[in-house]
Structure 1
Amino acid sequence: MKKIVWIALAIICVGCQQTGNEEPVVTTKTEKFEANSYTMRGIPDKVAFIDAPWIEGETQKYMWHFWGSEEELEGAFKVTGTHTETGETVTVLETSEIAGPVNGADASLPSNMSLPESGEWKLDTSVDGEAFGTILVDVKE
């Protein structure tokens, strides 16, 4: 029995190893948290948007919130969506800069976004070309 446990732990440790200087990207599925009386979806104290439903093919308004230093939050913001089952990838949002503080966050960005197909989507965010965080959302039909 001990041998099985050690083998399982070894497999887990090997699977967790990183290569190069990559930083781990935090992924969260439908995590909600409260920030300044708003229900947010995303990564607390990093990147999130005011929670609103995702409906296939429908454009909705989302207010992005960012936490970090001025240097971290300077530059273009991009969101790329990848459908977790089909692998389809789309640019969800692209803007040249992030706006100022709002609702207790260090920076913000109003946006209109949509995703073309129902299912689970991985939203990869970047600021000035650097990965900033990943959020998983469920899109309804």
Structure 2
Amino acid sequence: MKKVVWIVFIVMCVSCQQAGNEEATVSTKAEEFEVGSYTMRGIPDRVAFIDAPWVEGEAQKYMWHFWGSEDELTGPFKVTGTQMKTGETVTVFEAREIAGPVNGADASLPSNMSLPESGEWKLETSMDGEAFGTILVHVKE
């Protein structure tokens, strides 16, 4: 009986570890990269926006770009920001659906976004409630 309990415990631990690894592949470290004549911030071939400076409390226009299958690129899009120092979390942007291709991306979405305080922020994106990618930004005072 003890062997069965240990075997079940080990299988559960391995399953949990594998599930955690799957999530890590969605939250890829973001980078700056070029698409045509635009500098993007995000995850190449996944999700990015045309880079523009972030200034505390000031709204700025950002054009989101998405790469993926039609099945992946449907449903509501949401961006949640977490201030890395304080842990404060805010909803940065929400849209019911995304638009068509632009600049070599499979889909796009214009947005106005701002963050309430300076520092390093983690922008977590989701598409139809599923994690889509994480982008790090620096907000100036």
Q: Same fold (TM over 0.5)?
A: yes
1:109 aligned partner, one-letter code: L
Structure 2 unaligned regions, length at least 5? 1-15
Q: Percent identity?
A: 79
Greater helix share, structure number: 2
Q: Distance in 2 between matches of 1:33 and 1:100?
A: 21
Match of 2:27 in 1: 26
Q: Distance in 2 between matches of 1:32 and 1:88?
A: 25
Instruction: Provide, for residues 34-88 of structure 1, a one-character-per-residue CA deviation record: whole Å limited to 9, x for no partner.
Output: 0122110000000000010000000000000000001100000000000001000
Residue 63 of structure 2 is aligned to residue 63 of structure 1: yes
TM-score, length-normalised on structure 2?
0.83
Q: Distance in 1 between matches of 2:61 and 2:112?
A: 5
Instruction: Provide, for residues 66-112 of structure 1, a one-character-per-residue CA deviation record: whole Å limited to 9, x for no partner.
Output: 00001100000000000001000000000100100001000000000
TM-score, length-normalised on structure 1?
0.83
Runs of 4+ in 1 over 6 A off after TM superposition: none
Structure 1 unaligned regions, length at least 5? 1-16
Q: Give the SS at the match of 1:20.
A: helix
Shift of 1:23: 2.3
Q: Distance in 2 between matches of 1:100 and 1:134?
A: 22
Mark the structure with the bigger radius of gyration.
2
Q: Is the 8 A contact 1:27 1:136 kept in 2?
A: no
